[in-house]
Structure 1
Amino acid sequence: MSGFMLKIKKELEFQDFYQVLFENKSVEIEEEILQRVDKSFEFLQDFSKDKIIYGVNTGFGPMAQYRIPDEDCENLQYNLIRSHAAGAGKPLSAENVRALMLARMNTLALGKSGIHREVIETMQQLLNKNVVPLIFEHGGVGASGDLVQLAHLALVLIGEGEVFYDGTRQETCTVFKNLGINPISIHIREGLALLNGTSAMTGIGLVNLIYAKRLMEWSVFCSSAINEIVEAYDDHFSEELNSAKKHRGQQKIARMMREHLADSHLTRKRHEHLYEEKAKKTDQFSEKVQEYYSLRCVPQVLGPVYDTIEQALRIHLEEVNSANDNPIIDAAKEQVFHGGNFHGDYISLENDKLRLVVAKMSMLAERQLNYLLNPNLNNILPAFVNLSRLGLNFGMQGAQFAAVSTTAENQMLSNSMYVHSIPNNNDNQDIVSMGANSALLTRKVIDNAFEVLSVEIATIVQALYYLKVNEKLSSPSLRKFEILKKLLPALKEDQPIYKELQAITEYLKKHDAYS
């Protein structure tokens, strides 16, 4: 297993997450990073001997006014971990947990948390040996960090709780013993340092972004292919038209469409059809002068999606490369700073925005799907792209219901979590981010959008069976549809297609549109 090196002068990048989560790259840690962690630990160990420091020799949250005797400080950290391992709901997926661990390991490696190096080394072992802590979806409110989710990570690190390993859910102590992994020890504030942080919402958010980027590319792909199917005019994605607006996202989407359709023999030049003498003498045109918005306004609809994804990616990477617990240990200045770096508003807001634009992508797909299924709109395909007998057979009619209902759910789920703060913790946490909730809802909306796009793709496949225009398709369309046709035959007789739609959904999730 090849790996990448976590280096002191290099921040984690989006590609690093992708390689660890999806290419099974191992994580190596530069010795200089561990030495930086050692300095932070040694400073705090000496600094805290005769001072009151939150979470080292005090209680937590609203209990911070209680001084903890030196002989109980170790138990204080264990009590925090065990008491907050109170998650509910479904377990997080393995990719979300691994992203969470990589995010937490990276922020602790910045040397601003006063932890022992074994915390980082043990997380490294879990990542490299594919040991996945049992962490539940529900728990944290994203203000004192993702307390409950991260408590389940900490519970595993001290050798307790449960993990997923080798395909089964097992006791942590059993897996650690079999793999020769030693639980971490509590030295000063390892419990609080692990729990106080935004790494659950940030890790989940980065996974969301991986899938959202892929989803956006498939949306561009579908939009381009439909423009081929209906032989649309090409000026709506031209450089000239789209450069008249300054939005980078719009220009990027238009450029992607031009690249996709560069060698298509189906899209048309407006001047060749509507600017000639014959057209000037016509009082009523049999063909549309302009396409419906779901075809003509793709750069304007998907442009904001592109820009939102890029902004969310920037914020997530800033967060994952930040120290986000409390207090912050500054060994260089020989001081400890108390504050609120654990607060997750940045990530919560970006996931809310991401969820909105993904819901809009599913809405675009649903409208494009409806265009293909309605012969009164497209004027080239039979109703529901029915390849058999109208009336007796139904084509893609049943699948449309699934796409519409799923799109409606996305519209409902796109409401904000960022503004749904509920005070708790004896009102110590009186305004919270709900960041993990936002990230998890966003993942649901992304999964839903892939399902909607799978119905759209399946319908495009059926349309291509009907039209028999393979020799005129652009190279990207032809290359992908040769693969996708293997997942769904021509539906000349009605049959259950839920398995085929699931296979298309999985293909879209696992493969880039333009690779």
Structure 2
Amino acid sequence: MIQIGQSALSLDDLSAIIFNKQQVAIDPAALDKVNANFDFLKQFSSNKLIYGINTGFGPMAQYKVSEENLLQLQYNLIRSHSSGSGNMMDALLVKALMIARLNSFMQAHSGVHSDVIELLRQLINNDIAPCIFEHGGVGASGDLVQLAHLGLVLIGEGEVIYKGELHPTMDIFNKFGIKPLSIHIREGLAIINGTSAMTGIGMVNIIRARKLLSWSVMLSAMINEVVQAFDDHYSYELNIVKHHKGQNKIAEMMRGVLKDSKMIRDRSEHLYNPDNLDQEVFEDKVQEYYSLRCVTQVLGPIMDTINYAQEVVVNEINSVNDNPVIDHVNENIFHGGNFHGDYVSLEMDKLKIAITKLSMLSERQLNYMLNSKLNGKFPPFVNLGVLGFNFGVQGMQFTAVSTVAENQTLSFPMYVHSIPNNNDNQDIVSMGTNAALIAKKVIDNSFEVLAIQMVTILQAIDYLGCQEKLSSASHKVYETFRAIFPKFVEDAPRYKQTKAVKDHLENADLVIPF
């Protein structure tokens, strides 16, 4: 089990819980701090005016709430803000959201009762996902609407997704013997007033973006291989004089893939040899097109962007991100804006821009392979049938191009799209959950583009009959995906096979670890 509260939660921890269904446990020492924090709030809040405990919320905080209505106030907050719309979030993303909220509570600064901790643990370990909608939060007083739908389920209302089907919450709670939450002091506000929706989605985005980048390096290496490119553009010597970590790591990854290839050419052997200088016009280009030659320079900043986004979002998932902050150690309560999601919002915008560029590189590499006038090595559209009668990968190219175009449009940043609301109390907001969900869409799209690129490379390898000349890494990829998508000559609908390729790209381990 992965202990929550024992130490900082890592990207690998979240990946193990989400994708490998690792169970979570609550660290007893951390839970003691949660209990101490709750006990302090209960004692401290007596005979004091404290936001969200005996006041209204947001612009209505000027109104005092009577003693007999304090607990009902928390229920009212959850129910009134359960106003989401649009598509339901994937159960996997909801699970990430719950992990993020649980981990924030385990920092022991939210004043919640341990009942909330136990209930979240049960939902996570039993793969019970509250029904949460994509539209609603503006990401500044927390992901209020998305987290309100979480709160609605915690108090036994609303609906949950279990084994892919929608059920009334209490039907599933009764099945597992789960007791709904009874509000103690401020659990309503604590549940909804945080960045856990954007943070959970953001963590999943980063895991998937890392996988996309790994495949992009692999496919970029393979296309250089099948067109017999020169080896110096990914050499250590060329890249080390550019002082960027990402670029040099990408070059290292490409060298690892191609180290035993029998197709990559040595420039010294082919172009620096005096015997080759008697030609007036060289048959092959002296330098490859940018989409082949500038892979390290294009994918390098994408790697650096992913790595920095990971640092920021991991910091956020291990932070206290609600308001007010209950400090039982210093015996005080601090009001502020830790629920504001600008850190995550900005990184999700940067991430989607970077992944859009990755999909653009894939599309340009694809176009190079499909255009016989550019590559001079393959028939048009890598058509293994009769030219003019068969069509090869022609139809798939349309899909790739239109999908990349959508990515480009989606790359407009949400971070600068603040709209004041809440009677202008929330006068500058992050739109962090929107940013994270749009980044997810860009990532989804990019897997589709890379699947088409993979199919095209497989066809090119079969056209050349060069399987035994491939590097060992490339040959392994070829064999794996040929089992999923066999060689084709005749025209037929192949969208189901292409989806199977996409699914494997998404679900396989990192093809090149980094």
Q: TM-score, normalised by structure 2?
A: 0.99
From 245, 248, 253, the equivalent of 2:245 is 248
Name the structure 2 match of 1:358.
355
- C-alpha distance in structure 1 between counterparts of 2:318 and 2:225, whole Å: 43
2:511 partner letter: A
- Residue from 507, 510, 513 that aligns with 1:510: 507
2:177 maps to 180
**Equivalents in 2 of 1:257, 1:128: separation in Å?**
39
- Displacement of 1:277 in angstroms is 0.9
* Residue number in structure 2 paired with 1:302: 299
Match of 2:397 in 1: 400
- The counterpart of 2:123, out of the listed 108, 126, 150, is 126
Question: Partners in 2 of 1:390 and 1:473 — Cα distance?
Answer: 27
Task: Show the 5 A alignment for 1:109-508.
Answer: 109-508=106-505
Secondary structure in structure 1 of the residue aligned to 2:46: helix
Q: Cα deviation per residue 1:407-445 (whole Å; 9 max; x = unaligned)?
A: 000000011000000000000000000000000000000
- 2:10 aligns with 13
Secondary structure of the residue aligned to 1:90 is: strand
Q: 1:513 Cα deviation (Å)?
A: 2.1
Which string of whole-angstrom CA distances, capped at 9 and with x for unpartnered residues, describes residues 204-243 of structure 1?
0000011100000000010000011000000000000000
Q: Aligned partners of 1:492 and 1:340: how far apart in 2?
A: 61
User: Identity of counterpart residues, as a percentage?
Assistant: 56
Structure 1: gaps spanning 5 or more residues: none
| C-alpha distance in structure 2 between counterparts of 1:399 and 1:166, whole Å | 33
Cα offset, 1:283, TM superposition: 2.0
Q: Could you tell me how far 1:282 is from its partner in structure 2?
A: 2.3
SS of the residue corresponding to residue 49 of structure 1 reads coil
Shift of 1:290: 0.5
* Corresponding letter in the other structure for 2:224: N
Deviation at 1:490, TM superposition (A): 1.9
Secondary structure of 1:50's aligned partner: coil
In the alignment, is the contact (CA less than 8 A) between 2:131 and 2:149 conserved in 1?
yes
- 2:5–2:106 contact (8 Å) kept in structure 1: no
Alignment TM-score, normalising by the size of structure 1: 0.99
Q: CA deviation at 1:177?
A: 1.1
**Distance apart, 1:167 and its partner CA:** 2.8
SS at match of 1:398: helix
Q: Residue type of the partner of 1:363?
A: M
Determine the C-alpha separation between the residues in 2 that align with 1:458 and 1:13: 34
SS class of match (1:343): coil
What is the one-letter code of the residue matched to 2:321? N
Equivalent residue number for residue 99 of structure 1: 96
| Cα distance, 1:483 vs structure 2 | 1.2
- State how many pairs are aligned: 512
SS in structure 2 at match of 1:485:
helix
Q: Summarize deviations over 1:471-515 as a string: whole Å, max 9, x none.
A: 110111101110101222222111111111111111101013238
Q: Given the superposition, is the C-alpha separation of residues 53 and 34 from structure 1 closer, same or farther in structure 2, using an over 3 Å criterion? A: same
Distance (whole Å) between structure 2 residues aligned to residue 206 and residue 317 of structure 1: 7
Q: State how far apart, in whole Å, the 2-side matches of 1:231 and 1:216 are.
A: 22
User: Match of 1:113, as an amino acid?
Assistant: S
Aligned residue identity for 1:480: V
SS for the counterpart of 2:45 is helix
The answer to whether the 8 Å contact 1:37/1:110 transfers is yes
1:32-78: per-residue Cα shift (whole Å, max 9, x none)?
11110001100000000011100000000000000011110000000
Q: Contact 2:110/2:325 (CA < 8 Å) preserved in 1?
A: yes
Residue type at the aligned position of 1:309: I
Q: Distance in 1 between matches of 2:335 and 2:484?
A: 56
The offset of 1:166, in angstroms, is 2.8
Q: What's the secondary structure of 1:152's corresponding residue?
A: helix
Q: Which moved more, 1:474-483 or 1:277-286?
A: 277-286
Contact kept? 1:228, 1:473, Cα under 8 Å: yes
Which of 22, 31, 36 does residue 34 from structure 1 map onto?
Answer: 31
CA contact 1:237–1:299 (8 Å) conserved in 2: yes
Q: Distance in 2 between matches of 1:45 and 1:15?
A: 36
Q: Deviations over 1:353-373 (max 9, x none)?
A: 000000001100000000000
Deviations 1:444-487 (A, max 9, x none): 00000000111100000111111111111011110111010122
Q: Single out whichever of 166-175 and 341-350 deviates more from structure 2.
A: 166-175
Please tell me the residue identity of whatever aligns with 2:68. Answer: E
Asked if 1 retains the 8 angstrom alpha-carbon contact of 2:81 and 2:148, the reply is: yes
Map of 1:4 onto structure 2: 2
Query: In 2, distance between residues paired with 1:189 and 1:7?
Result: 21
Report if the CA contact (8 A) 2:349-2:413 is conserved.
yes
1:22 to 7, 11, 19: 19
Instruction: Give the Cα separation in 1 of the matches to 2:328 and 2:286.
Output: 68
Tell me, yes or no, if the aligned pair for 1:387 and 1:466 is still in contact at 8 Å.
yes
| Superimposed CA distance per residue, residues 219-277 of structure 1 (whole angstroms, 9 cap, x where no aligned partner) | 00100000110000000000000000000000000000000001111001100010011
| 1:476–1:514 CA contact under 8 A, matched in 2 | no
Q: What amino acid is aligned across from residue 6 of structure 1 in structure 2?
A: I
1:94, distance to aligned residue in structure 2 (A): 1.1
State the Cα RMSD in Å.
0.8
1: distance between equivalents of 2:264 and 2:241?
22
Task: Please tell me the residue identity of whatever aligns with 2:40.
Answer: F
